[in-house]
Structure 1
Amino acid sequence: MNRLISIFAFSLLLHVSASAAEALTLDQALQLLKAKNLEIKAAAFDERSAKEDIDAVSGKNWGTLTFTQDAARSNDAGNVFGFKLTSREATFGDFGFADFLTPPPGTTNVLTVQPTDLNYPGYRNLFQSKLRYEVPLFTGFMLSSYTDIMKKIKELKSLDKHKIEKQKKYELKKSFYDMALLDSSIKNLNKILDNIHILENTTEEMIAVGYAKKVDLLEVQAKKGNVERLLVQMQSNKKLLYHYISFLLNQKVEHIQTPSSEVSMPKISDAEILAHNIDLQKAATGLKITKDMLKVSQAAYYPTLGAFGEVATADNTFLGNADEHKAYTIGARLSWNLFDGGIDAAKIEKSKIEKLKMQSQVELAKKGILLKIAKIRTEIEGVDVEIASLKKELELANAIYENYEGRYKEKLVSMSDVIIKQSAQIEKILQLQIAKNKRTEKILALEKLANGED
């Protein structure tokens, strides 16, 4: 028998150890969040897409190399003569010399004779292969400015990704601390429920000996039902939290290891928060973009210079006599817009206004964040005082309930008095949970506002 008990106890210990090992810690959850959260993955794709935009713009500096293959058939006089010239196969006969040398009888002026070979040629094919390279040599700094803009847009996408990571991290941490507070409240309510069970048994015994009435038992049972209802609500909230944690981590989570202590107040100054705040970093990057956009507008005042080179071959058959019929062209083009009715000047002025506007928005964002910091810090100080007061009030409510429970047994107070004191005890527990939730939310909000590594 002892051997069986030992085996059972050992098996139970292994089961408990396995369950504890499966419980997800906050640190493990934060690592999973970075790897599995779908919103973070989507933001990472946006960041990669922005990187490709940089390559697309900077690639224009290298120019374009295009290959063109034309295939045509025509009896249009201009086309046929042009096809022959392109393939270097034109002859004097194509100019109508046959009609010039043997004009029709009675012709007094051979210059009026229409050359049939030139005006009514037969069908001819053209197969032309062409390779062309074009490169911009100077664009008034427009391409370099656009490349800088794309780089800063990529920075914005990176900041967006970082912000989403911090937002999801905030939501995950808050869920873990909410779960810890729920567990604490459930534990306290279970103690109260145990006391109610004891009080219920005591009341039944007192009814049996005539020291209590049936209505006293009904009051106790009603209060027990109320506490059980609160426990069911809290268990439902736990299930919802598990569902939300599973959603954040993109996998099924059934057990977590709740934090053992309350979230601590971060030791970070207002200046450090401003330095790490992602929204301010985004605003500063936006300001840099407006400066680059001003450079783009000013590029209209500069000339643009480009060069090109082309090699081609043509024949009435595909690649026929390609080497003999080859040709090349090289050249450059300078373009300079000297007057456009003041349109470029207006665009430059608009870009300057946008830059000034962005500067004021950055300053406004700083002041707005400082206001939020001051508000959160003040609220945390107030909640700390509230929590300290509620802890003392709960301690007093527990002592009063125990006192009234003993006095009820001595018939010094009624069951209604005991239930009232117990209601006050439960109310303080719930008020304390709400206050702790509020404090956790405010501290995590302050960390999120800093957006730095915790």
Structure 2
Amino acid sequence: MNQNTIVLKMFLTVFTLALPLVIAAQQLDPVLQDLIHKGLNKNHQIQSNRIDAEQAQIDQQLAKSVFLPKITFNGSFVRLDDDITFDDDTQTLLIATQKLVIKDAFGLPFNSPFPDNIPLEDVPNLQNKNILKSSVDLDWVLFSGFEASNALKASKHKESSLKYVGLAERDKVALQIIEAYDKLALVQASKKVLITSEKYLNEQIFYVHKAIENGLTTPLSRKKLELAQQQLAAKQLEFDHNNIMLIELLHQLTGESKANLKLLEPELQAFANTDAASTEKRNEVKALEEAEKATRYQAKMAKSNFIPKVAVKGHYEFIEDDLSLLDPKWFIGAGIKWNVFDGNQSRLKSKKASLESERYRDQIEDVEEMIALSITKAELKYQSALQNTKIVEKEIELANDTYEMVDKQYRNNLASINDVLDALNDVEKANFKLQESYFNERRAVAEMLHAKGVLTY
């Protein structure tokens, strides 16, 4: 067996052992898992969904706070242009009444003159012109007509919907990173094939030079090999560019430094058969279902506007001196508010929310149909990839045997250099097709797991 054949067989052995390793569907490469987690922490849309969910939590707290008493401290100072007093006739009447009361207290006759030595009190002002007030108010809703409770339930379902939207977005980001990582593995595997092809070409160039020196072939064979080298260099440049673009993409998706990404050496590994994987409800469906429930409670909240509301009101004045004669120092009371007709606003808002709920129901049915179709599509794609892998493995075996045969014929002057190059090219293409087949298998499995709602990372 010549050196060419030994090198080819060693390469194919290493290539075969490194790639078709079968792992469980959810056992991702630890490096890939780390990149996914970094990507999830970096993604702006996921962070935006998290903030929206936190805002929904605050809405729940606002709904609960309706039933908490509201206590307000007040302070003010007002100066009027003058004191507010009784008119002259009223003041005269009050003074006369005061005199009658005093005379009655001393036992003086009704029509007797009023003694000069008894002082009279001035009639107090209704309100002094300098008014300093300090008070506290209490407002306490006892019953909101179910408006607050419906708002609370609507906010809870809205929060759940936003969380499921975030989980669905996480799945999309994970799939993007897995695909980019697999493409990087495919590029690097293809680069290895090209490097090996370059070694073969260099060996062929060596033999051609020897053949030219011995007059066994023409310089035209050397030019053909030089052309093959240029074509190989073009392919290497293409793969280098693809490698750079994939590193840029992974950097953008994960935030990982480009220097670290350049050190990655991913390998394509075929996933195990996932036909028996259970199917769970997708996060997209759960998000729509929670949004539908939220709109239902919004409709109920609008209708509850016509239910009577009950509240308690309290007030206490800390400073009595500047109160008017008509102002109480404190009071407490309960009241009821009953909205009988609001110009159809509540009814229209409830109708609008009900229509929104119907729209979500239609979306749920549409998404479920699309998911069922995507599961079937992914399963068929996976089956095709498996079958294609079997075909490519036969192609590799045939290409290997063909190359060995043509190489022997060439060394015995029974085949041309073109035949050798064609056979070598077939070996290269067959091995690369195997990597593409593994790549397609992984894509199909990832899409199937995502479609079934059981993708983990």
User: Is 66-75 or 151-160 further displaced after alignment?
Assistant: 66-75
- Structure 2 partner of 1:365: 367
Picking from 48, 52, 55, the partner of 1:46 is: 52
Aligned-residue offset at 1:326: 7.5
2:403 counterpart letter in structure 1: Y
Task: Tell me the alpha carbon deviations over residues 344-382 of structure 1, each in whole angstroms, 9 at most, x when there is no partner.
Answer: 445444444443443333223212211111112112222
Picking from 305, 315, 338, the partner of 1:310 is: 315
Matches within 5 A, 1:82-93: none
Aligned-residue offset at 1:233: 2.3
- Structure 2 partner of 1:58: 64
Q: CA 1:441 to 1:286, structure 2 compared with 1: closer, same or farther past 3 Å?
A: same
Runs (5+) with no aligned partner, structure 2: 1-28, 94-122
Work out the CA distance in 2 between the residues paired with 1:341 and 1:99.
48
2:405 is equivalent to residue 421 of structure 1: no
2:298 is equivalent to residue 283 of structure 1: no
- Structure 1 partner of 2:409: 407
Work out the CA distance in 2 between the residues paired with 1:381 and 1:251.
35
1:419 counterpart letter in structure 2: L
Q: CA-atom RMSD, angstroms?
A: 3.3
- Structure 1 partner of 2:357: 355
2:122 is equivalent to residue 146 of structure 1: no
Contact preservation (8 Å) 1:24, 1:256? no
Q: CA 1:171 to 1:298, structure 2 compared with 1: closer, same or farther past 3 Å?
A: same
- Structure 2 partner of 1:244: 249
1:263 counterpart letter in structure 2: F
Work out the CA distance in 2 between the residues paired with 1:416 and 1:177.
34
Work out the CA distance in 2 between the residues paired with 1:357 and 1:27.
37
- Structure 2 partner of 1:383: 385
Aligned-residue offset at 1:281: 0.6
Contact preservation (8 Å) 2:189, 2:267? no
Work out the CA distance in 2 between the residues paired with 1:244 and 1:342.
54
Equivalent position SS for 1:297: helix
2:77 is equivalent to residue 71 of structure 1: yes
- Structure 1 partner of 2:199: 194
Task: Tell me the alpha carbon deviations over residues 411-440 of structure 1, each in whole angstroms, 9 at most, x when there is no partner.
Answer: 222222333333333333444444433332
Work out the CA distance in 2 between the residues paired with 1:42 and 1:245.
21
Contact preservation (8 Å) 2:161, 2:288? no
Contact preservation (8 Å) 1:176, 1:259? no
- Structure 2 partner of 1:95: 86
Equivalent position SS for 2:215: coil
Equivalent position SS for 2:67: helix
Work out the CA distance in 2 between the residues paired with 1:101 and 1:31.
89
- Structure 2 partner of 1:107: none
2:64 counterpart letter in structure 1: S
So what's the TM-score if we normalise by structure 2? Answer: 0.75
Number of aligned residue pairs: 393
Work out the CA distance in 1 between the residues paired with 2:90 and 2:347.
63
User: Is 367-376 or 245-254 further displaced after alignment?
Assistant: 245-254
2:270 is equivalent to residue 262 of structure 1: yes
Q: CA 1:332 to 1:268, structure 2 compared with 1: closer, same or farther past 3 Å?
A: farther
Q: CA 1:247 to 1:74, structure 2 compared with 1: closer, same or farther past 3 Å?
A: same
Contact preservation (8 Å) 1:37, 1:250? no
Aligned-residue offset at 1:153: 1.4
So what's the TM-score if we normalise by structure 1? Answer: 0.76
1:287 counterpart letter in structure 2: E
Picking from 437, 440, 456, the partner of 1:438 is: 440
